[in-house]
Amino acid sequence: MYSIVEYKGKRTGYRCGYCNSHQGKGSNGMWAHSMTVQDYQDLIDRGWRRSGKYVYKPIMNQTCCPQYTIRCRSLHFQPSKSHKKVLKKMLRYLTKGETSKLNSEGEPMDSHTEDTGCNFLLKSEPDTSQSELEPLNIYTEKVESEKEEIKGEIIVTTDSGHTESCNEKVNASLSKPLNPAKVGHAPPKPGKGADLSKPPCRKAKDIRKEQKLQKHLQNQMGNHALQEKAQITQKSEPKTNQPKSIEDFIFVTLPPEAAHQLEVRLVRVSFEDPQFRSSFTQSATLFAKYQMAIHKDTPSECNENQFTRFLCDSPLEAENSPNGPDCGYGSFHQQYWVDGKIVAVGVIDILPKCVSSVYLYYDPDYSSLSLGVYSALREIAFTRQIHEKASDLSYYYMGFYIHSCPKMRYKGQYRPSDLLCPETYVWVPIEQCLPSLEHSKYCRFNLDAKAVDEGNVKELGRVRILHKRTVMPYSVYKRRRKGPSDEESVQQYATLVGQECSERMLLFKS
């Protein structure tokens, strides 16, 4: 099984959907006639993404809005407060039928298909509610309130119940003249001598020694008692509650009288699959409804042909492995059915190391449920679920992170996550990248100035070529070729895909 690609070269000076620049965008692209899941895994780890069968890579240091590949480390993911709100909202809807009157989510625009300019939204919507990552500064507020109390007037209550101002009493007493007779110590009164009925006075030194000894004995007895009490408490008290995971919200069993029933079906994208074929019309109709309502597409821009081209046609070849997930690798639609009808579809690719999010479309009538955020959390949970069978698969790829576009920063809320260095293709925690992105749209995240792209092409002659149904290395094809040299184009292609992919994939030459 081979990946067969046709390199289309560089495309620059076209409209950007993020900043609305008319000529600011640039990318390299190729048409994938077929592709193995391993080759696509290696390509997205070098900054490539697919839209249908078109695979593209932004020219990071030239494009107006650099798009950095982002991945979430799903095994360590902890939902934020806003994520839990979305999960609880869905639970309330399913159990009691409760829905929010207002749509709490914005609708960010994500990557669009590079060959046609059709706008594509990736996944979850941004949440502007208070995040756990940005706690309120309670300590500062408390100090300020205490300062106000000190500045204010102090009120006391007398024995008779009459309230007085301490400030007034102090001021009044300070304004009175001092009585010289009351200044200084009073003269001693005459005494009667020692009382013989009482024991003689003890030295202060002896009293202090005795008090110290008593205190020491009390401490020893107290510590022993505390130890016994702690042991009893540990045995009797239950363990402290652990924070809830997304699975605690998602896989909860609904009561029999629940208002709605939710079923999530994973369907392989193939017209040979009976489930996919039987739900195709309903799914395509939902896509058109979403595109027209959210992206203001015309009916011709979101008909069944466009739906098939963008979200059903995939270059990925279906693969199965003994150590892989039970569903296999390839392209899938994750359908969300509520009471017997599809309300949302998440388009995903299952690859050797990750679940890669491609697109989401949903019924606008259910916007109040924040289905973008909910589906992203479901896909993280799904990634963790299949990791139990496929141990190498542990990441959730969210497409591109675009820091220069504020409405596209929401993907950074799924922590912990990493961004891909555009020069050395190593993963760097997003917390380390954000300070640099605040100063410059384009950044090299690898702090090692001497580090280079380890996967860069080293031997151009070993690039595999498919010509006239014959597979050959580029060194042989170059000798046989007639006409002008295409070495510059092949060099560009090999540099972008890397040495390993260039030796595995077949570069089609007509």
Q: How far apart are CA 244 and CA 249, in angstroms?
A: 8
Q: Give the distance between the most distant pair of CA atoms in the chain.
A: 133
- Judgement on whether residues 490 and 374 belong to the same structural domain of the protein: no
Q: Are residues 378 and 424 in the same domain?
A: yes
Burial class (CB in 10 A: 0-12, 13-18, 19+), 311: buried
Q: Which of 380, 402, 434 is the last residue of a domain?
A: 434
At which of 372, 400, 434 does a domain end? 434
Helix (H, G, I), strand (E, B) or coil at 420: strand
Residues 338, 428, single domain; the answer is yes
| Distance between CA atoms of residues 34 and 40, nearest Å | 10
Residue recorded with tokens 């070098």: 46
Backbone φ, ψ for residue 396 (5° rounding): -120, 110
Residue 493 CB contacts under 8 Å (≥ 6 apart), including other chains: 7, 30, 463, 502, 507
Q: Are residues 336 and 302 in the same domain?
A: yes
Cα distance between the two ends of the chain:
20
Q: Tell me, what CATH number does 322's domain have? A: 3.40.630.30
| Residue 204 lies inside a defined structural domain of this protein | no
Nearest 10 degrees: CA dihedral of 111, 117, 119, 124?
A: -10
- Amino acid residing at 80: S
Amino acid at 301: E
| Residue 286 sits in the same domain as residue 353 | yes
- pLDDT number for residue 184: 47
- C-alpha angle with apex 420: 418 to 422, nearest 5 degrees? 155
pLDDT score at 206: 77
Mark which of 370, 399, 434 sits at the end of a domain: 434
Structure confidence at residue 505 (pLDDT): 98
Within a domain: residue 392? yes
Which residues sit opposite 466 in a β-bridge? 471, 508
Do residue 321 and residue 374 come from a single domain? yes
Cβ contact 506:471 at 8 Å: yes
| Beta carbons within 8 Å of 307's beta carbon, 6+ residues apart | 283, 284, 287, 288
Does 84 map to a domain?
yes
The residues, ordered by sequence, that sit 6+ positions from 297 with a Cβ below 8 Å of its Cβ are 118, 288, 291
In this structure, are 277 and 353 located in the same domain? yes
Do both 265 and 378 map to the same domain?
A: yes
Task: Output the tens digit of pLDDT for each of the chain's 510 residues.
Answer: 899 999 999 999 999 989 989 999 999 999 999 999 999 999 999 999 999 999 999 999 999 999 999 999 999 999 999 999 999 999 999 999 998 765 544 444 343 344 433 333 333 333 333 333 333 333 333 333 333 333 344 343 444 444 444 444 434 444 444 444 444 455 555 555 555 555 566 778 778 887 888 787 777 766 666 666 556 555 555 555 688 999 999 999 999 999 999 999 999 999 999 999 999 999 999 999 999 999 999 999 999 999 999 999 999 999 999 999 999 999 999 999 999 999 999 999 999 999 999 999 999 999 999 999 999 999 999 999 999 999 999 999 999 999 999 999 999 999 999 999 999 999 999 999 999 999 999 999 999 999 999 999 999 999 999 999 999 999 999 999 988 999 999 999 999 999 999 999 999 999
Q: Provide the residue range defining the domain that includes 459.
A: 455-510
For the entire predicted model, the pTM comes to 0.76
How far is the C-alpha of 25 from the C-alpha of 47, rounded, in Å? 16
Q: At what angle do helices 371-387 and 81-96 cross, to 10 degrees?
A: 100
Pairing assessment for the beta strands 155-157 and 163-165 based on DSSP bridges: antiparallel
Among 307, 325, 301, residue whose Cα is nearest residue 271: 307
Assess whether 259 and 397 both reside in one domain.
yes
Report the pLDDT value the prediction gives residue 119, as an integer from 0 to 100: 38
Instruction: Give the per-residue pLDDT at 259.
Output: 98
Beta strands in 91-220, from DSSP E residues, in sequence order: 155-157, 163-165
DSSP 490-503: HHHHHHHH-HHHHH
206: which residues sit within 8 A by CB, 6+ positions away? none
With beta carbons less than 8 A apart as the criterion, state whether 71 and 45 touch.
no
- 15 and 117 Cβ atoms separated by less than 8 Å: yes
| Nearest in space to 468 (alpha carbons), one of 506, 430, 503 | 506
CA dist 55 and 32 (Å) reads 7
Q: Which residue from 27, 2, 1 is spatially nearest to 13, judged by alpha carbons?
A: 27
Number of domains in the chain: 2
- Whose structure tokens read 């989510």? 105
Kindly state whether residues 401 and 493 are assigned to the same domain: no
Inter-CA distances, 22 with 16, 19, 116, 117, 398, Å: 6, 9, 15, 12, 26
- Amino acid 228: pLDDT: 61
- The answer as to whether 418 is a domain residue is yes
For residue 11, being part of any structural domain is answered with: no
The C-alpha atoms of residue 34 and residue 5 are separated, in whole angstroms, by 7
How far is it, in rounded angstroms, from Cα 451 to Cα 445?
11
* Phi, psi angle pair for 335, to nearest 5°: -95, 135
The answer to whether residues 84 and 118 belong to one domain is yes
Q: What is the DSSP letter of 182?
A: G
- 223 lies in some domain: no
The pLDDT value given to residue 40:
98
Residues 479 and 425 in one domain: no
Q: Is 175 part of any domain?
A: no
The verdict on residue 376 lying in a domain is yes
**81 phi/psi in degrees, rounded to 5:** -60, -40
**Helix and strand tally (H, E) in the chain?**
13, 17
